[in-house]
Every structure is written in C-alpha cells, then in structure tokens.
A and B are shown apart, each in its own frame.
Chain A
Amino acid sequence: MLELKDISAGYGRINALSGVGLKVDAGRVVALLGANGAGKTTTLNCISRVVALTSGEIHFEGQRVDRLASEDMVARGVCQVPEGREIFARMSVRENLEIGAHLRRDTAVIRQDLDRVCEYFPRLRQRFAQEAGTLSGGEQQMLLIARALMGRPKLLLLDEPSLGLSPLLVEQIFAIIRQLNKEGLTILLVEQNARIALNVSDYAYILENGEIAFEGNSADLVRDDRVRQAYLGA
C-alpha cells in the first residue's frame, strides 16, 4: 500500500533522515520505533507531504506521491494523528471533528461518521459543545484520533498516541487501534513505547539517527537480543 524508497530529508543543514526504506502492506499494523530525535515524526511528515524530501521516492497504492501537496494525501486517504496536542483549541469538539472531514463533500455520510467515531470515544460525545482547549490531555488525544478518522483514512499515521497518558488510557487507546485495524484500517504507528508497539504491530522498523537499524516481524524483534537491550530494557 505504502512504500518509502530510500528517502532522505532534513531541516536546513540538519539531516534528519538518510536513505530510509519502509513498506506498509494493506491491512497491517506497522510500527516505527526509535529514540528521541531518531526521525520518526520526520518520516510521517514526509509521508503527509509536510516535510520535503531531498531524495528518494514515496509510493502510495501504486502511484508516486512525493510531489503531491499535503491536501492531496489527505484526499487519497492518508491521515495523520500528529504528536503533541495539535487541536483547534477555540473550536468546539464537534467542529474539531467536522473539520477532519474538510475535504469530503458527502454531508450525509459525514454526519453518520460523526456518530461512528463517537462510538469509539463516547467521552467525546459528552463534550460535543465544549471548547476543545478545555479537554484533558487524554481527551485531546482521543479527539485527535477521532478527527483523523473523520477523514475516512485508508492509512492512518499515528504519532506517539501513548505520550503522556495514564497506563489505563494507553490500554484503551491501543484496544481501539486494534479494533480499527480489525475493521480493515491500515496503520503506521510511531512509538517510543516499544513494548506496547511491538505487541500490537505485525511488522516493525527501528530508526536510529535517521537510518533504519533493524526491521522484522514484531514477534521476532521482541525476542531479538539487541532490540531487547536497546529498546525493551531487558
């Protein structure tokens, strides 16, 4: 479904990614792990066409997409849940969700989807009219995922959904991620929390200093000694 071929990217003179190759097959959960500053967010932003490549190619559903604009990626069904709390703070929860469907014109279906995403996150329904900036951190994370779902993604890019959440909430969010995948959504999951990410994913890549250091089936990586030492603290 998605393939990054040898991509490099940077910020000014800083090189953030050098020669990253990565594949996400339809229907799978693929994890992208790595320490702080390894280049995980940069990778997602290359896919979302927010950060420009300096070399390499990105293919989505058989077509080359690395020259497209960011809205074209959303239109094609690649939606990102960014790290941090990138909500529209002064809009209501409802508007935050509706704006996730900004590029869609099927008003009737959008209304149904509003109900559908609130089934995953009943908490949001109760806060519909509230300003999004007044939500708790966990609720804001739910809102971000729900907003991305409003774009009807085929491929969901998740950037550290567990960051700053209580263990209970992390469990809940990952249960929903599993469920979304079971319902057919393909997911590229960026995480610091390697244990939980390897647990939900089928396949994983590990970034070190902008290069892929390890890759393999998640089940195998969990047992790999080097991975265990560096990322699972064992």
Chain B
Amino acid sequence: MDWQLIWLFLQQGVASGLVTGSIYALLAVAIVIIFKTTDAPNFAAGELFMAAAYVALYLLVFLALPFIAVVPLSLGVAFIAAALFYRIVLQKIGSSAAVTVNVVIATLGLSFVLKGAVRKTGVGDVPRSFPSIFGNDTITIGQAVLTLQDIGILALAVVSMTIFFLFFNFTRTGRAMRAVGMNPKAAVLVGINLRRTRMLIWGLSGLLSSLAALLIAPKILMTADMGSVVILGFAAAIIGGFTSLPGAVLGGLIIGIAENLVGLFISSRAISVAPFVAIMLVLVLRPQGLLGGKVAVKKV
C-alpha cells in the first residue's frame, strides 16, 4: 500500500468516521445523562432509539406527513414516552430497596415491550428504508468524499449537541440536572424537585435517542433489531469514562473513526470488532476512561 493511498484512506476514514461517530456521540450522551442521575444504565436505550425511528417512519410513510411535522412530532413522542416511563415505572421502583437492580430489570422489560410492539404492528415485520431529505450528491473535502446526507447528519448532530451543552451548562434547569447528578441530597435541600428533574432527564435522553434515530435511519435498513446500534453508544460512553459528557462525545467520534479506518485498511468484515478493540485499548491504558476522572469509590 503506497503512501498516497494511506493518506487518502486516512482522510476518508476520519471524515466518514466523524459522521457515524456523531450519531454514536448523541446516543452516548443520552446514556450518560441517565446513568449520572439515575445511577443505572438504561438498557432500553436501544429499543427507544429503534421505536423512535419507527414512529418517524410511520408518520412519514404511512400517514404521509411532511418532514417539517414529522421531526418535532417524533422528538416529542420520544421525549414524552421516556419521561412517562420514568414517571410511571421507575418512580414506583425508586421507593423500594435494591433500586439499581430493579431499574435495570425494568429497562430490560421496556426494551422487550418496545421490540415486540414494533414487530407486531406490521410496520416492523419487514426491513424498510427511510426516505432521506438530503440528496445523494457528493462533496469532496480534501480527498474525502461525503454525501450531502453525511454532511447534513454531521451538521445537525453538532448543532444539537451544542444546543444541549449550552442548555446543560448555562440554564437553570440544566444546572438543576447537573446538581441532581452530583449530589441529590443537597439538590433536595436547595429546593430542586428530584422527581421532576429526573423525569426531564429521561425525556431529554429519549429526545436525543430519537434525534440519533432520525439522523441515522436513512443510512441503514430499518428492522426491529436496529436498536443494537446503541451498543456503540454504550461503547462510546465507556471510552469516555461513563460519567463524562465531553468524554461521551469524544468516545463516539473515536469509535466512528476506528470503525471506518478498520473498514478501509483491514476489512469491512472486521468493522464490528473495532469498537471493542478501542474499548480494550482505552481501558487498559486508562481504566477510568478518557475523561472519567478518578475511579470513584462510592460512599455507602
């Protein structure tokens, strides 16, 4: 392999990697905000993502609504569904002992319910493709070639993550969310409503998953199992340290790029191994993840 080809592959791998990586980053952020504030991973994240894509598909193809209506509707449905799941199911569990285990089981339960629902409604029984708003024209950056759709995905993901970070760091509600993640006991004493704040966080997490779903759906074939993509969101979260939001974004981009480089330099059949090699490398070199801070010893 000559240097010119290597240079070309590098450019293409990074460019394409940033596109898919930005979607993993969104998913990782959705996972991390829940983990930080609920102390349990949301194992239904994948199925929320999948169901959100099907909601959008349903509105768009079966009800023939225009994109301009489908986007806010799908985001809204995902927000409300996730918030209600927290409110109705998790709130009940929260008042009993062994909270973490029960939360995990409840989120697994939700994932089965959602998958079953999509399979049984006749929308998800055959693979479908999701229409794209961006054309398939291509743009060349350096020597890397991206479709307009890729550019659109990357731009929308970056814009929405920026909005999210501004909200999270500079608004009153965002500050309350961070406070609940850091010290729920103190948060209660300054007058923050834990239940409402956590509900909002779940809603927001649902919204981010659904955004990721809308962005990636046109690039993939939709099946009821498409939620497995979210495993890469978890991988990104782990690489970033699992409690760090910037870490989650960084992890997402690293995985996206690693996948694409492996696909170009080694073999497209090796792509699915790339994220796990990346996880192992990071965990061996920095057990706390890239931006995870010290390994936390939990006070009991």
Contact = CB atoms under 8 A, between A and B. Distances in A.
A88 B189 contact: no
Interface residues of B, number: 16
A71 B192 contact: yes
Contact of A82 (B176, B189, B191): B189
A103 B188 CA distance: 11
B175 A71 contact: no
Contact of A88 (B172, B186, B191, B193): B186
A219 interface: no
A102 B190 contact: yes
A182 interface: no
A95 B175 contact: yes
Contacts of B183: 86-89
B192 A102 contact: yes
A106 to B, nearest CB: 13
Contact of B190 (A50, A90, A147): A147
A80 B190 CA distance: 8
B193 A69 contact: yes
Interface of A: 48, 50, 69-71, 74-75, 79-80, 82, 86-91, 95, 98-100, 102-103, 147, 151
B113 interface: no
A151 B190 contact: yes
B8 interface: no
Given A88-B178, A88-B187, 5 more contacts: A74-B189, A87-B186, A89-B182, A91-B175, A102-B172
Nearest to A84: B185
A48 B179 contact: no
Nearest to B169: A95
Contact of B182 (A70, A79, A90): A90
Contacts of B176: 99, 102
17 contacts: A70-B188, A70-B191, A71-B193, A74-B190, A79-B189, A80-B189, A82-B185, A82-B186, A82-B189, A87-B183, A89-B183, A90-B182, A91-B178, A91-B179, A95-B175, A102-B191, A103-B191
Contacts of A87: 183, 186
Given A86-B186, A88-B186, A102-B172, A71 B191 contact: yes
Contacts of A82: 185-186, 189
B189 A48 contact: yes
B191 A151 contact: yes
A88 B179 contact: yes
A229 to B, nearest CB: 35
Contacts of B186: 82, 86-88
Nearest to A100: B190
A104 to B, nearest CB: 9
Among B176, B188, B191, the most chain A Cβ lie within 10 Å of the Cβ of B191
